[in-house]
Amino acid sequence: MGSRMVKRLLDAGHSVSGYNRTKSKAQWLLDLGMKWAESPRAAAQAGDFVFSMVTNSEALRAVTEGPDGILAGLADGKIYVDMSTVSPSAIRATASQVEARGAEMLDAPVSGSQITVEEGKLSFMVGGKRETFDRVLPILHAIGPKATHVGANGLAVSMKIATNLSLAVQMLAFSEGVLLAEKSGIPRETAVEVLLNSVMASPMVKYRGPFVLKMPEEAWFDINMAQKDVMLALEMGVQLDVPLPTTAVANQMLTAARAMGYAKEDFAVLFEVLAQMAGMKSGGME
């Protein structure tokens, strides 16, 4: 997703210097005009606005700390925007380190998918100082049309976690509906068509629901990533005394998916897990 954001920035005329652990994966962006940075530090030194998107809290520390990390490349007046879905405590800790360098930090996780990035429909939730948000807003709008300031550092990722817990829950509920209809005698394709045109079809269900008929060759958001977000939600629930019963059930199904060898599949494979539990040996998936 991050690479597609870079393309939108390049298309909007911005100068972008970027780094990725595997340079070959960034080659298509270099061909489009992105400048290569030899390290996260070099990327941070190259511009006034620094963006990152990584897998988890550990990866955030890895890309920010150390002599070649982003923190080492920050200075007075720079703004660092992290778009990862990580723990709120990790964001707040990083924000303190950023401020110690004389820079400002925003956490700005996104809501959407590869398709929404390409269509220019991505939305952001942003945590940090309001005046810092206002400075970054024109750049965010080059990527997606909607950015909402939700409060201090850490609150945007809290909002993102609260949003993402619904992804697995919705996919599981959708799968239950399809399978119940199919085992009653309705063709799977028909059940999918009806549900995707019903009141229960959220934007996520509309673009991921068809995966129960044919899974994508490459996962958009795999089981491991989905479970990481669900575990963050469950951790927040314990800390804040908020019961999350449907999230807990979805977490168990994600664990079952990993046990069945589906860790790298898109989390729509929850349908296959449920299908096998329902006695449908192959699940009918291609």
**What string of H, E and C letters represents the secondary structure of 160-210?**
HHHHHHHHHHHHHHHHHHHHHHHHCCCCHHHHHHHHHCCCCCCHHHHHHHH
Place 283 in a pLDDT band, splitting at 50, 70 and 90: very low
Query: If you average pLDDT over residues 25-33, what whole number do you get?
Result: 93
Q: What are the pLDDT digits (tens) for 131-141?
A: 999 999 999 99
Q: What is the predicted pLDDT for the residue at 249? A: 97
**For the chain, what percent of residues have pLDDT higher than 90?**
81
Q: Is 156 helix (H, G, I), strand (E, B) or coil?
A: helix
CATH, domain 158-277, list 1.10.1040.10, 1.10.3720.10, 1.10.260.40, 1.10.1300.10: 1.10.1040.10
Instruction: State the chain's mean pLDDT as an integer.
Output: 92
Best CA proximity match to 149, nearest among 169, 175, 173, 131: 131
Domain ranges of the chain: 2-153, 158-277
The answer to whether residues 215 and 268 touch, using CB atoms and an 8 Å cutoff, is yes
Place 282 in a pLDDT band, splitting at 50, 70 and 90: low
Query: If you average pLDDT over residues 271-275, what whole number do you get?
Result: 95
Q: Domain 2-153 has what CATH class?
A: alpha beta
Query: If you average pLDDT over residues 274-278, what whole number do you get?
Result: 94
Sequence-distant (6+) residues with CB within 8 A of 122 are 5, 110, 111, 112, 116, 143, 144, 145, 146
Q: What are the pLDDT digits (tens) for 119-177?
A: 777 889 999 999 999 999 999 999 989 999 999 999 999 999 999 999 999 999 999 99
Domains 2-153 and 158-277 share a fold: no
